[in-house]
A and B are shown apart, each in its own frame.
Chain A
Amino acid sequence: MNKKRILAVLLASAMAGGLLAGCGSGSQEPAAAKTGTAESSGSGDSSASGGKVTLAVWNEPSADEALNMYKQCEKATGIAIEVTVIPESDYSSKLNQMVSTKDSSIDIYVIWENDIANFAQVGGIVPMDDYLAASSIKTDEFIDAVSKLSDGLGGIYGLPWCAATEILYYNQDMFDAAGIAYPDNNWSYVDYKAAAEKLTQKAADGSTSIYGSALPDTQTWWAGIGGAGDQVYDPASGEMVIGDGALSFVTDCADMVANGVMPEPSSDTADLFAAGKAAMSCQGSWHIGTYGSGLDFNWDIATIPTDKIKYNTLHTGFYSINANSKNQELAFKAIEYLMGEEGQAINSRASGNPSAIKSIAAWGAWKVEAATTIENWEAVTDSLAAGVFGYTCLPSGVTNNAVSEFNNAVLGQKTPQEAVDSAARYAKETIGY
Chain B
Amino acid sequence: MANNQSSKSSKNKRKNHLTAYAFCAPWFIGFLCFTLFPIGFMFLTSLTNRKLNGISQFIGLANYKNMLSSPTFWNSLKVTIFFTIIMIVVTAIWAVIMAMLLNYKQRLNGIFQFCYFLPSVVPSVALAYAFRTIFGKDAGLLNAIISIFAGKNISINWLYDSHTVYFAVFFITLFTYNTGQMMLIFRSALNDVPRELYEACDLDGASGLRKFSNVTLPMISPIVLFNAVMGCTSALNGSFALLYPLTGENGDPNGMTHVLSLLVYKEAFSNMKVGYACALSVVLFFVACCFGIAIFAISKKAVFYEN
Contact of A253 with B by CB under 8 A: no
Known: A263-B138, A266-B137, A430-B271. A122 touches B22 (CB 8 A): no
Q: Which of A80-88, A91-99, A304-312, A338-346 contacts B (4 or more CB under 8 A)?
A: A91-99
B66 to A429, Cβ gap below 8 A? Answer: yes
Question: Given the known A-B contacts A4-B19, A93-B269, A413-B253, are A429 and B70 also in contact in the complex, defined by CB atoms under 8 Å?
Answer: yes
The 8 Å CB contact of A124, one of B53, B158, B270, B276, is B53
Measured CB to CB, the closest approach of chain B to A180, in angstroms, equals 24
Which one of A52-60, A143-151, A403-411 contacts B?
A403-411
User: Across the interface, do A397 and B266 meet the contact criterion of CB distance under 8 Å?
Assistant: yes
A413 CA to B253 CA, complexed, in Å:
8
Beta-carbon contacts under 8 Å, B250-307 to A: 250, 252-254, 266-273, 275-276
Which of the candidate stretches A7-15, A237-245, A325-333 sits at the interface with the other chain?
A7-15
**B52 and A97 form a contact (CB under 8 A):** yes
A8 and B153 contacting across the interface, CB-CB below 8 Å:
no
Q: Does A40 contact B (CB under 8 A)?
A: no
Q: Flag whether A5 is at the interface (Cβ < 8 A).
A: yes
Q: Which residues of B contact A97 (CB under 8 A)?
A: 52
A 379-404 contacts with B by CB, 8 A? 395-398, 400-401, 404
Q: Is the CB of B139 within 8 A of A8?
A: no
CB distance from A94 to the nearest CB of B (A): 9
Contact A267 B249, CB 8 Å, known A4-B19, A205-B152, A408-B254: no
Tell me the smallest distance from the CB of B156 to a CB of chain A, in Å.
10
A interface residues, tally (CB under 8 Å): 53
Which of B16, B22, B152, B270 has a CB less than 8 Å from the CB of A400? B270
Cβ contact within 8 Å between A5 and B253: no
Pair A267/B271 contact, Cβ less than 8 Å: no
Candidate in B15, B133, B135, B270 with the most chain A CB atoms within 10 angstroms: B270
Q: Decide yes or no whether B89 CB sits under 8 A from chain A.
A: no
B214 contacts across to A, CB distance below 8 A: none
Instruction: Report A56 CB to chain B, min CB distance, Å.
Output: 15
A12 to B26, CA, bound (A): 5
Say how far B120's CB is from chain A's closest CB, in angstroms: 23
CA distance A398 to B270 in the complex (A): 8
Question: Is residue B205 contacting chain A, with contact meaning CB distance below 8 A?
Answer: no
Report whether over half of chain A's contact residues are helix, strand or loop; otherwise say mixed. Answer: helix
Q: Is B44 an interface residue (CB 8 A)?
A: no
- Asked if residues A8 and B267 are in contact (CB atoms below 8 Å), the reply is no
Within 8 A of A (CB), among B118-141: 132-133, 135-140
Instruction: Find A266's partner among B18, B70, B160 (CB 8 Å cutoff).
Output: B160
Q: Are A397 and B138 in contact (CB under 8 A)?
A: no
Selected contact of A93 from candidates B52, B140, B158, CB within 8 Å? B52
B110 within 8 Å of A by Cβ? no
Compute how far the CA of A14 lies from the CA of B155 in the bound complex, rounded to whole angstroms.
60
Closest to B159 in A: A267
Are the CB atoms of A266 and B138 closer together than 8 Å? Answer: yes
Q: Contact flags (1/0) for A421-433 with B, using CB distance below 8 Å?
A: 0100110011001
- Chain A 1-38, CB-CB to B under 8 Å as 1, else 0, gives 10011001101101110010001000000000000000
Q: Which residues in window 97-115 of A have CB below 8 A to B?
A: 97, 99-101
In the assembly, what is the distance between CA of A118 and CA of B272, in Å? 11
User: Within the complex, which residue of B12, B15, B155 is in contact with A207, where a contact is CB–CB below 8 Å?
Assistant: B155
Measured CB to CB, the closest approach of chain A to B47, in angstroms, equals 14
Q: Is B80's CB within 8 Å of the partner chain A?
A: no
Contacts of B55 in A (CB 8 A): 122
**A1, closest chain B residue (CB):** B15
Flag if B253 contacts A433 (CB, 8 Å). no
Q: What residues of chain A lie closer than 8 Å to B40, measured between beta carbons?
A: none
- Across the interface, which residues of A come within 8 angstroms of B38, CB to CB? none
8 Å CB interface, B28-43 against A? 29-30, 33
Q: Within the assembled complex, what's the spacing in Å between the Cα atoms of A268 and B137?
A: 6
Q: Which of A19, A404, A430 contacts B250 (CB 8 A)?
A: A404
> B206 contacts the other chain (Cβ, under 8 Å)?
no
- Does residue A64 face the partner (Cβ distance < 8 Å to B)? no
Interface residues, chain A, CB within 8 Å of chain B? 1, 4-5, 8-9, 11-12, 14-16, 19, 23, 90, 92-93, 96-97, 99-101, 118-119, 122, 124, 203, 205, 207, 263-268, 270, 277, 395-398, 400-401, 404, 407-408, 411, 413-414, 422, 425-426, 429-430, 433
Pick 9 A–B contacts, CB within 8 A, sort by A.
A12-B23, A12-B29, A93-B52, A97-B52, A207-B155, A264-B160, A265-B160, A267-B132, A407-B160
Give the 9 A-B residue pairs with the shortest CB-CB distance, closest first: A397-B270, A100-B54, A8-B22, A15-B26, A397-B271, A266-B137, A404-B250, A96-B52, A12-B25
